[in-house]
Amino acid sequence: MEGLRGLNDMIERILSKESLSQLMDGYETREGQLIMAREVARVMEEGGMSLIEGGTGVGKTLAYLIPAALFAITEDTRVAISTSTKSLQDQVIFKDLPLVQKLLKSQGIALKASHIKGRGNYLCLHRLSNALQRGQISAETMGWAQSSPYGDLEHAPQTGLSYIIGSRWEYCLGKNCPHREACFYQKAWKKAEESHLMVVNHHLLLSHHLTEKKGLPLFERLIIDEAHRLEKTALDVLGESVSISYLLRRVQGLLGLEVSLMEAPHFMDGLRSLERLLHRVLASLASIIPSGRTSKEALELAEEAIDLLRGLSVSLEGVALMGEGMVRRLGEEAPMMGEVAMVSKEFLTAARILSQWIEETSEGVVKWIELEVSDVPSLSFHSTPLDVSGPLKEYLFSATDGVVLTSATLSVGGSMEYVRKTLGIEKAREVFLPPEFAYEQQVRLVVMKSMPQPRSKDYKEGILDGISSILQERGGQTLILFTAYHLMEEIARTLRDRFPTLHFYIQGERGRDILVNLFRGDRQGVLVGVESFWEGIDLPGEALKTLIIVKLPFRSPEDPLVAARSRWLQEQGKDPFEEYLLPEAVLTFRQGFGRLIRSKEDTGVVYILDPRILKRGYGRVFLSSIPKINVETE
C-alpha cells in the first residue's frame, strides 16, 4: 500500500457491495460511507483534524474502523477509538470489529483489536478472595467471576462491587500477587499494548489526557465517536465532588470490619464519631436546602451550617491521618490494611475538596450542591469548570497528530461553530455526509400548535390531553420525551390510569436498558423518559412507530451550571441564549428526533407539543437542523 491513494483503493475494495455482501445480507453501497472513509483515511495519513456529521444509516462505524485499521497495520502503530455510550461501545467491540477482522482476513490482513476501561471497572482476584472470606460476595457473583472472560464488573450479578472488589492501585501487590497471571486489568492492558485498534470510552480518554493519569497505552491517531458528548464528559472529569452518602457507605464498610481491626481502637472510635457527624450533616442540610441542584451563592447557608461542614472536613482529615498511621505501623500486607489505606486517601481527598468548596472562590468555576430526596436522602457538593475548551485543546488535541470527531449531531442550523467553540477546535475540516433515509416518505412531522405555552396555568392539563389524544389514535410502540422529571412522573401516572390496556415503561421504575428491552418487544408499550432517553436508544423496525416531544429541550435557567455559564457569557458581552442555551437545545432536539427512524424500512410520526417551534423566531433553527420534512399542524 502506497500512501493515501493506496489506502483509498483498499478501502473502496473492502467497502464494495461485492466484498460486504458476502458477510452482510442485503448490503447496499452507501455514498456517505465512502465519503467518510476517504476523509478518515486522509486524517490517518496526513494528520490534522476533521469534524464529520452523518446521520443514522450511513454506516459511520465501518467508515472509520476500516481506514484506521489499515493505517495502523501498515504503519505498525495504534489508533484509539473513543465512544461515550455503552450501547455503541458494545456494538463496536462485539459486532463491528469482528466484521472488520473478517473483511481484512479475506484480504490476507490480520487485525489485532482490543478494548480497555478504567482500572476500577475490572475485578481484582486478590480483593475477591478477601471479600469472599468476609461474606461480602454472593455465590452467583462467585460463579460469574470464575467464568467471566474479561472480569468487567458492569456485567456482574451484584451491583456496587467496584469499591469492594474493583482493581485499584492501592491494593495492587504487583509481582507479589498470587493472581498476577490471571489479572483481568493486566491482561486488558497487555492486549491493548499489542493491538492496532484500541476501543476506549470518553471518560478514560479524558482522564488520561486531562488529569495526567496514565490509564492508556500510547496511540498516534484518535477517532472520537459520539463527539457531541465530549464536552459533558470533560466537565465531569475536570470537576470535583464529595458525596456524603458515599462517605457514609465507606465508613460503614470499615466499621463492618471491626473484628479485624481490634488492634486499632482509636481509629474505630474516630470512624464511629465520623459516622455520627455525617448523619448529622445529612439531616441538617436536607432540612434547609431545596431538592435538586442549588448554587452555593443561592444557598446563603447559616454560619452554623458552614461550621458543621468545616468540622466534617477536619474530622475526615483526622480519621484519614489515623488510618495512614495505622497502615505504616502494621504494614499494608496486614489484614484489611489495604482497605484502610485506600479509604484514608479517599477521606483526605474529600477533606480537601470540601474545604476548598467552603473557603475558596475560584474564577471560572461554579460551586453547587445537590440533594436527592428519597427514603435515604443523597447529598453531594460539586465544583465544575465553566469552560473546558482550553484543556481539551492543550492536552488532548495538541497531543494527538490526527483526530477525527464524528456524530449524528455536530451542527446547529447547518453550522458546527458551537461545537468547535466548546471543544476548543480552531482548525479542522468539516464534512456533512448525505442522508441515507428518505425522511419525507418515512416520517410525518406534526406540530400541535393549539397546545398551551409552557408557562401558562393550563399547561399541565393541556399536555395531558394532547398526549391522550395521540395515544388514543396511535396506541403503543410510542416514545414520550419530557424535559422535567416531576412533570413526567405526574403525567405518566395519570396516563397509566387512563389507558389500562397500554403498558407504560417509565424512567426511574427500573434501569434504562431494562425498560428499553421490555418496551422493544411490546406492541402495547409506551416508553416514557427524560434526558438520557433523548439519545443512545436504538429502536428499529416495528419497535417504535410514534415519537412525542413534549417540549423543546431548553435547559432550566435555574440549574446552577446553566445560570453560572450564562452570567459568564454575559460578562464577555455575549448573548447566553444565542451562544449557549439555543445551540444546546437544538443538539438535544436533534438527538431526540433521531430516535424514530433507524433504518430505510422504518416509518412513523413525530409529534411536537411545543407551539413555540412555529411561533418563535428561534423555531426556524430547530426545524432547519433536522431533515427537510413538510410540517403538518393540528
Please give the full DSSP string across 464-510, using - where no structure is assigned: HHHHHHHHHHH-SSEEEEES-HHHHHHHHHHHHHH-TTSEEEETTSS
Residue 327: the pLDDT is 82
Third-level CATH fold of 3-112+195-220+400-432:
Rossmann fold (3.40.50)
Q: 199 — phi, psi (to 5°)?
A: -95, 125
What is the domain class of 239-385 according to CATH? Answer: mainly alpha
Separation CA 512–CA 182 (nearest Å):
33
Nine-digit cell at 418?
458551537
Q: How distant, in Å, are the alpha carbons of 139, 375, 436, 474, 593 from that of 546?
A: 43, 36, 21, 7, 11
Burial tier of 95 (Cβ tally within 10 Å: 0-12, 13-18, 19+)? exposed
Residue 134: the pLDDT is 72
Residue 622: the pLDDT is 97
What is the domain class of 439-633 according to CATH? Answer: alpha beta
Residue 259: the pLDDT is 56
Nine-digit cell at 61?
462505524
CA 587 to chain CA centroid, nearest Å: 16
pLDDT tens digits for range 153-173: 888 887 777 778 888 877 787
pTM of the model: 0.92
Place of cell 469482528: 98
Separation CA 477–CA 498 (nearest Å):
17
Place of cell 465519503: 35
- Residue pair 237/210 in contact (Cβ under 8 Å)? The answer is yes
Sheet strand arrangement including 49-53: 113-115, 197-201, 79-83, 221-224, 403-407, 49-53, 429-432
Instruction: List the Cα angle 122/126/131 in 5-degree steps.
Output: 90
DSSP for 541-597?
GGG--EEEE-S--PPPTTSHHHHHHHHHHHHTT--HIIIIIHHHHHHHHHHHHTTS-
The DSSP bridge partners found for residue 201 are 83
Confidence of residue 212 (pLDDT cuts 50, 70, 90): low
Separation CA 80–CA 444 (nearest Å):
39
Q: What is the DSSP letter of 630?
A: P
pLDDT tens digits for range 320-360: 999 988 888 877 666 677 778 888 999 999 999 999 999 88
Provide the sign of the torsion angle of the four alpha carbons 121, 125, 131, 137, taken in this order: positive
Q: According to CATH, where is 3.40.50.300 located in the chain? A: 3-112+195-220+400-432, 439-633
pLDDT tens digits for range 290-310: 888 999 888 877 788 899 999
Separation CA 197–CA 371 (nearest Å):
42
Residue 313: the pLDDT is 96
Checking if the pLDDT of 516 tops 90, the result is yes
User: What is the chain's mean pLDDT, rounded?
Assistant: 91
Count the helices and strands in the chain (H runs, E runs). Answer: 28, 18
Place of cell 458581552: 573
Q: According to CATH, where is 1.20.120 located in the chain? A: 239-385
Kindly give, in sequence order, each residue whose CB lies less than 8 Å from that of residue 25, ignoring residues fewer than 6 positions away.
none
DSSP for 585-608?
HHHHHHHHHTTS--STT--EEEEE
